[in-house]
Amino acid sequence: MRDPRDIIIRPLITEKSLRLAREGKYTFEVAPDANKHEIKSAVEMLFKVRVGDVHTINVKGKQRTMFWGRRTTGRTKNWKKAIVSVKEGKIDIFEGL
């Protein structure tokens, strides 16, 4: 099994994620190749909570236009988002925001 810190990259702090945190649902950016079972066990190991459901979303990168002497286009990277429902406990990262 991989290290949980390799699976959970960072928490996502947005207005929507803070609203979901009040309902016991927490949002994280996760490794693109991680599955729901790995995400569930990583959150349980890192934050010492019981996880109910895990929902994952593959977020497609956006197209961007850059000007480096001439106009060129590129894309931001694709990434994966996970919304984790917690049965018991709270995740301290989201407290006080």
Per CATH, the homologous superfamily of domain 4-88 is RRM (RNA recognition motif) domain (3.30.70.330)
Domain ranges of the chain: 4-88
- 81 near 8, Cβ under 8 Å? no
Q: What is the pTM of this model?
A: 0.87
Provide the 8-state DSSP code for 86.
E
User: pLDDT tens-digit profile of 21-31?
Assistant: 999 999 999 99
Average pLDDT on 1-28 reads 93
29-88 pLDDT, tens digit each: 999 999 999 999 999 999 999 999 999 999 999 999 988 788 889 999 999 999 999 998
Do 91 and 97 contact (CB within 8 A), yes or no? Answer: no
Which residue(s) pair with 58 in the sheet? 80
Pairing of β 63-67 and β 50-59: unpaired
